[in-house]
Structures are given as structure tokens and as C-alpha cells.
Chain A
Amino acid sequence: MTETPLIGAAPTFSTGSRADAAQGLSGARIGVITFPGTLDDRDAARAVRIAGGTAVALWHADPELAGVDAVIIPGGFSYGDYLRAGALSRFAPLMERIIQAANARTATARLPVLGICNGFQILTESHLLPGSMIKNDHLKFACLDAKLRVENNATAWTTDYLPGQEITVPLKNQDGQYIADEKTLDALEAEGLVTFRYVGGNPNGSRREIAGISNAAGNIVGLMPHPEHAVESGYGPDAASGRSAGTDGLGFFTSILNTLVGGTK
């Protein structure tokens, strides 16, 4: 299913490996969509580049997907999070195309989509993923380094992680409490679609410590924490390898590149 990971699980990233990572993968084009109020678009594009891919800037009002191989809906406060987080962005012209492409009938045609934070909220508002996010149980914006367990590495965006691997990536939001009705939660669990779970404490009251989920096909993943903020030593969370040295998020971006090169998820 997977290529040999160019940068393995729990990668220690150095500038030296950047050129290696780029070998043969720079052809993969990962779209990063910007809405009015999007904040982490440049960060997501940087993460794609560091992983060795080519980031393509997409504008919410674009009519077409510009032939990208996958799409990242980055974090931020699109439309100010007004009404509900993600509620207004969900109706952008490009989102209509993404919804179609992500739901394509044949597995090979399905567009891989990663929604981070506000992107996850947009995916739930779009009904590409079930459930919703409400205000954190402590009612405050919280910026912290979250520890996650990879519950499912069989998605387009998680192949470079080991099942059960624990990773640390920043979490920063106001409306990060994942909720869904019990039936939906049970179904997610039964089908193995809970992709990430918070470990060592629930930072926002999310049901069943859910930090991220995927659809059954595994091409769509949404999560509240920000892997794109843990891709570069010196600017990431504190890690065993050093202060601000955490690069645990890089696996998302190498995973999708490998998935695309492999031709399947």
C-alpha cells in the first residue's frame, strides 16, 4: 500500500534531508485554499514544500481546482468564524468543487482533502465529515502543545505514522470541542474512523477525546490540532529532541506525497 517512507515515522528533520525528500515528489501538487480570514495557509504551503511537494495557492472564489492532486483546507477564522465556524466558507465556489471531487464515485478519482482546525470545521459544515465543533468546555481560546495518538494510519494523510504512535502538535482554537450524537460516535468507532485521539488529558471536552476523524474511504481527514506548525525544528513544539524541535506533524505531508506517488491510498 505505501511506498517506503522517505521520512519515516517520528522523523528527525534536518535541512539535509530536504533535498532527498524532494526527489521524485516535487511533481505532486497540493492545493492550499485561502478564504477571506484564513490564517495558516502560508504555513500549510511551507509544510508541503518541506515535505518535498509543490504547494499550489487556491482562492476560495476560483471556479476550478487547477488540477491539484490533493487539497489542504488550512486553519484560521474564515469569515471571522461569524455565524458558526466554517458556516459561510462552506458555500464558496471552490468548496462545491471540492465536495464533488472528494466524493467521486471511484476510489482512484477521489480527491484527498485535509481539513485543519477551521478547515475541519468547514468539512463538517460541508457534511464531508460527521459531527461538529462547539466552544471549548473551558470557554477560552487555548494554545497548547497537544499529544495525540494515531488511531488510524490507513488514510491518505496518515500512512507514514505507525498505528498507536503518539505525536505532539500544537492546538490553538476557541471552538475545538468535537461533538456528535452517540450513534454517530459509535459508528465512527466501529468503522475505525477516529483518526486521532487526545492523550494525557482532554484539552477541550471533545467527545471520546476525538482530535480528528476521516471518512470511510480515507481520502478526507479533518483534525483540530495543527500539524503544519510541527514541521520545522526551531519553530515547533518542545520535544524530546530539543526545545521547539518537534516535527511530528511532517508525517501528514509526507504521507500524502507517498500516497499520491503510490497511486492508491
Chain B
Amino acid sequence: MPRIVVDVMPKPEILDPQGKAIVGALPRLGFTSFSGVRQGKRFELTVDGEVTAEILEQARRAGTTLLSNPVIEDVVNVELLAD
């Protein structure tokens, strides 16, 4: 069944404590090439049947109303997952 992916990230100006802790841990394991980490969330919405433009729009609205907290997060991507 088709799935729609919704990616949510903390807003760039908002502190991301998790990302900060992870970027601190990376060099200890020898991963020295990364100067920043921000941790977001990925949602997969399963659709029974064909994904229409209307359904994609619904996913977008679900992203901004329920899946993300618009005060501190942005929906950065909504797309149909290729099988």
C-alpha cells in the first residue's frame, strides 16, 4: 500500500538538545567530519488506495497541525514513498 512520508525538523533557530549531544559524541567514535547534527522525526502515513493530490494535501495539513508543533518545528518534506 502506498505510503506518504512526512519529515519534521526542529526550527533552525530553536535549540536542539539531542542534536547537540549527538554531535558531541560523534568525534569520540572517530567520526570527525561532522560539525552539526539536528534530529528530526519521520512519519509514514499509509493510504488505502491511490494517493491523490487531495490526499497529499491532507498529509501536509496533518503535518502542520498534528505531527509537528508549529511553535518549535517545521514540516520540511511531504512526499509519496516510491515502492
Q: Which residues of A contact B (CB under 8 A)?
A: 79-80, 82-83, 88, 91
Interface SS of chain B: helix, strand, loop or mixed?
A: helix
A-B contacts, 13 listed (Cβ < 8 Å): A79-B21, A80-B21, A82-B17, A82-B22, A82-B39, A83-B18, A83-B21, A83-B22, A83-B25, A83-B39, A88-B21, A88-B22, A91-B25
Interface string of B14-45 (1 = CB under 8 A from A): 00011001100100110000000001000000
Question: In the complex, are the beta carbons of A91 and B21 less than 8 A apart?
Answer: no
**For residue A83, which residues in chain B have a CB less than 8 angstroms away from its CB?**
18, 21-22, 25, 39
**For residue B39, which residues in chain A have a CB less than 8 angstroms away from its CB?**
82-83
Q: Which 6 A-B pairs have the closest CB atoms?
A: A82-B21, A82-B18, A88-B25, A79-B21, A83-B22, A80-B21
Question: In the complex, are the beta carbons of A91 and B17 less than 8 A apart?
Answer: no
For B29, give its contact among A79, A80, A82, A91 (CB under 8 Å): A91
Would you give the shortest CB distance from B51 to chain A, in whole angstroms? 29
**For residue A80, which residues in chain B have a CB less than 8 angstroms away from its CB?**
17-18, 21
For A88, the closest partner residue in chain B by CB is B25
Q: How far, in whole Å, are A88 and B17 apart by their CA atoms in the complex?
A: 13
For B25, the closest partner residue in chain A by CB is A88
10 additional contacts (CB under 8 A) given A80-B21, A91-B25: A79-B21, A79-B25, A80-B17, A80-B18, A83-B21, A83-B22, A88-B22, A88-B25, A91-B28, A91-B29
